[in-house]
Every structure is written in structure tokens, then in C-alpha cells.
Structure 1
């Protein structure tokens, strides 16, 4: 049984063609419109319609719902920590140590594989659509769209800055000034292909940082304490390794970052956590704010009173 989505044309959209309405109001891609046309899946006032037909206020447009046919990854049983979910979006809390999506020599054991299994167990066939990635050893919020249109709408929010991500990171030392903007272009490292670096010919990258707390942490077997800073970090752009590269360039790499800093006896990975994500719900239009609790390996860096900020 085919399913259709119904839309009533508002006065402000009068005189748009069907194609213009699909692209600008419903945010359908050109490829999706072509597919709908091939499947004869667009009706105006219960009749098949050409894409160049002009609309009038009050017209009823019925558009075929293109259902997913594959998960896009192999479903695999594993733990998914659900922070928020409805019929359009699901937000997961990714643990450190796994990838968001299969890549290279890692076709299984990723958050996407586990999410596909979760949907499979619920009897839902939904292609896995992550809106963004986190590095393997970064924990926290990852947003997935449950259908292609939701993905398009959320990607548009990412493009125009309405989709906001907030990170928590721990660095050694104290940043001066304690709050600021890092506006430095990032490109591929010239000799190390897996790394990124600040480069004049790189792409624009902007990171906002704010020091939340400066504290000391003693090192086992050593007399002196280590000065650490807990930072709140927000991205205007989303380049590969952006936060890690920017902080290392300032001389304050993330604690435990083996690629851009050095190993630490205090934590076995870079101390970076995607603590919150905020976006406009693609269907309801309301602001959604989701938070991921600080994981235990970062919590143990602090005394309880250090977390009061």
C-alpha cells in the first residue's frame, strides 16, 4: 500500500511551480524529485501533475512517501544509549572507542550497525543517516535522521548555523585569554596523511571556546599536581579534527590526545565529549536540546566540586 504526504498550498506560495514548491518549501532534492516523477508519485488535487504547473492557494499536493529498502549497513547486536527519539530523529550517546559509521577496514562494530539492529528488532526498515560524525575516541551526542527529507532539512540547519553542537574538553594548562575565538584555516597535513593542520591554504574553520573551570590533578607517583582546564567548545564549522587541531595549535592540546599532543596516565583517549546538541525539529518547528552526561573516564578527572560550574 503506497503512502502519500499531503500538503495544502498557502497564499504565500501561490504562483510557484510544483517543482519550485518541492524544492524551496519541502526541500526535496533534484534527485528525489526525478525519482518521484518516474514513479508518478506527485498529484495535485487528486490528479497527476507536471512539474511546471503553477500552484494556487488552497491547492492540495499529494507526494508519494519513498520508503527505505535497506539499512545501508549490516545490522549487528550492540548497545545503543538513546538520549532522545521520535518518529523523525534519534539522538544517541556514542561511547569512545567506536566509529559512528563503517569506514575502510571497519565494516562492523560501529554505532550505525548497532542502530540498524535496534530498528530491525522494532520491525522498522530505516536507512541509517548520521547527520555528523565524531572521531573514534570522542564520546557524546550523535544525531540520526529517520528519513531522507528529515536529513535534508537538518543538513540545511547545519549549513545555516541553526544546528548547534557543544563540546566539553580538558586541556593541560590555562588558556589566555580564558574565552575567545579560534579562526584559523585547516587543511591536510603535508607529510602525515591521517592528520590535519592549520594551513593558510586550508578551509575556513572557526571554534569558540570558554574556560569553565581551572583545577589541579595529582599524578600517581609524582609530587606535583597538573594544572588542567575544562573548556566549553562550539563549532561554527565542522572540519575533520577541528577542535583537536585548533587547541594543539594554541599549545594546549586535549589531554590524552596521542595524535596532536601526548599520552596521559589520567585518561586513555583524548578528553573530548560532545555534550549537547540543539536543533529545530524538522516537522514541529520547536527547539530540541539534547544533552549527553559526562562519561566516567572524564568525570574521574575532577573532584565533585570541580563539576559545579
Structure 2
């Protein structure tokens, strides 16, 4: 039997076009509206309705509950670290060297596979929906939405910059100036398809940075993203002249760490149920802490000039 959720049109929504009501008030994505339309899952006062119909104060709108039928990935038993969870989303602490989601020929062993198994154990069936991505070697905070509406709202927060991502990176050199903004568009690499390059015809890319500490010939840098281009932080720091330690693609080799020294330390967002600002932290992994100690051994940390 089909299940519907019922909404009453309020005075302030009188005269709204139905499609506008669905997008602005219920915050449904265009994709979900199309899916509901195909399933004849939108009823206004008990009757099927066109999306351009205007709603009136007191109207009754019934929306079909479209449930996911599968996870989208194969559930696989594995460890996940949950940093935050509510009825709409989770923030996980991704280990280094693990893919977020199956890609190419890799179909197992990803964070998405492990999360699907965790939800399966709870008898919850929902498509696994990462809201953003982290490179395989990058550790730290990553958000998964529990349903399509939550995914859409969180993606809107990303666009509106109320969902903020903060990273820490160990880089080669003493960063100067100690803080600033990197505004350099990113596009395809002219000869290497798995890389990106600074390209004036590419997509806009903006990274804000500040030095947390510096050592003899390395710096610990905090970064915040306005955009989320592939390899953005790694490429921007290399472009600035301070490549990430251990980054085999854009950075420099570093004996103190066997992967790129990049960690998604914090993520800040507006909680969906009440719009409260929430800040979640992923503790530094041991290999990052060890790498910092290697840098400190050369010279005691010196705080940058403010």
C-alpha cells in the first residue's frame, strides 16, 4: 500500500506555483520532483495535479513516500568511525587510503560499502549518498545524507557556504604571507587525464589559508574551501609554491609520511531539524601526528607573526 505525507498550505504560501512550493518550502530537488511526477505521487486536494498549478491557503497536498529499494553499493563488513549522526545525516571519519565510494574497477572496501553494511545491520535500506568527496589518501570528516531530501539541502548548504570544510596540511617551505586566499581556476591537465591543472579557462576555485605553525623548512597550514574542485587544495598549494608533503602527484616526497599530509579536520553545517550550527572535528590520525613530530625535531615550532 502506498504511503503519503500530508501538508497543509499556509497563508504565506497562498498563490505559490506548486513546483516552487516543492522546491522552496519542502526543499525537494528537481530529480525527486521528476520521480514523484512519474509515479503520480503528488496529489492536491486528492487529485493529480500539474506542477505549474497555483496552490491556495487551506489546500491539502499529499506527497508519496518514495523509499529507496537498495543501497547502491554492495554492503561489506568493515569498521567505520561515526563522528556525528542524526535522523538525516552522518559524519564519518574516513581513514587514509580508503575510497569514499566505488569507482572504476574498485567495487569493494570503500567507506560506502562499510556504511551500507552498518545500515543493513540496523534494518535500514537507503541509498548511500556522500554529500562531498575526499581523495583516497586524505583522512577526516565526510558527510553522508540518509535520504534524497537531506542530500539536496546539504548540497544547497555547500553552495551557500553555510556548510564549511576545514583542512590541515603539512607543506614544504615557510608559507608567506602567513595567510591569504588562492584564487586560481582549475581545469583538465593538458596531457595527464588523472591530473588537474591551473587553467584560466577552467572552473573557478578559491581556497583560503592561514599558517597554524611553522618549523625549520615546513609549515602546518589550515585551509577552508569556497569551492570543491578535484584536487583543489593539493593543486592550489603547489601553485602557491608550498606543495603538500608526501603528495606523489603535486607535492614532494617526505620520509616522515607515506601519503599526502592532508586531513579534513573540521566540518561545520546547519543541523537540518532546527538550523543550529554544528561543528564536528575528526582527530588527527597517528601518521599525521608522527609527521608533525618529524618536522618539529628539526626545530621547535615557531608561531607565525600575526
Q: Above 0.5 in TM-score?
A: yes
Cα displacement string for residues 213-256 of structure 1 (whole angstroms, at most 9, x for unaligned residues):
1124xxxxxxxxxx221111011111110000011112210011
Q: In 1, Cα distance between the equivalents of 2:35 and 2:22?
A: 13
Corresponding residue to 2:251 among 249, 261, 266: 261
TM-score, normalised to structure 1's length? Answer: 0.90
- Greater Cα offset, 60-69 or 239-248: 60-69
Partner of 1:48: 47
Confirm whether residue 234 of structure 1 aligns to residue 233 of structure 2: no
Shift of 1:29: 3.0
Corresponding residue to 2:270 among 280, 302, 307: 280
Given that 2:17 and 2:54 are in contact with CA atoms closer than 8 Å, whether structure 1 keeps it comes out as yes
Task: Evaluate the alpha carbon distance shift between residue 32 and residue 307 of structure 1 in structure 2; reply closer, same or farther with a 3 A threshold.
Answer: farther
Confirm whether residue 116 of structure 1 aligns to residue 123 of structure 2: no
Confirm whether residue 290 of structure 1 aligns to residue 280 of structure 2: yes
Q: In 2, Cα distance between the equivalents of 1:199 and 1:103?
A: 26
Instruction: Provide the aligned length of Structure 1 versus Structure 2.
Output: 298
Partner of 1:185: 185
Shift of 1:191: 1.6
Matches within 5 A, 1:147-162: 147-162=147-162
TM-score, normalised to structure 2's length? Answer: 0.91
Partner of 1:66: 66
Task: Evaluate the alpha carbon distance shift between residue 215 and residue 75 of structure 1 in structure 2; reply closer, same or farther with a 3 A threshold.
Answer: same
Aligned-partner SS, 2:166: strand
Unaligned runs of 5+ in 2: none
Shift of 1:43: 3.2
Q: In 1, Cα distance between the equivalents of 2:301 and 2:13?
A: 54
Given that 2:215 and 2:302 are in contact with CA atoms closer than 8 Å, whether structure 1 keeps it comes out as no
Q: In 2, Cα distance between the equivalents of 1:206 and 1:143?
A: 21
Q: In 1, Cα distance between the equivalents of 2:56 and 2:246?
A: 60
Partner of 1:248: 238
Partner of 1:195: 195
Partner of 1:219: none
Q: In 2, Cα distance between the equivalents of 1:65 and 1:271?
A: 44
Aligned-partner SS, 1:301: helix
Q: In 1, Cα distance between the equivalents of 2:5 and 2:263?
A: 38
Cα-Cα RMSD: 2.1
Matches within 5 A, 1:29-48: 29-45=29-45, 47-48=46-47
Q: In 2, Cα distance between the equivalents of 1:10 and 1:215?
A: 60
Given that 1:40 and 1:48 are in contact with CA atoms closer than 8 Å, whether structure 2 keeps it comes out as no
Confirm whether residue 129 of structure 1 aligns to residue 119 of structure 2: no
Shift of 1:266: 0.5
Cα displacement string for residues 25-63 of structure 1 (whole angstroms, at most 9, x for unaligned residues):
223233422332343322335x22413442223434221
Shift of 1:298: 0.7
Aligned-partner SS, 1:302: helix
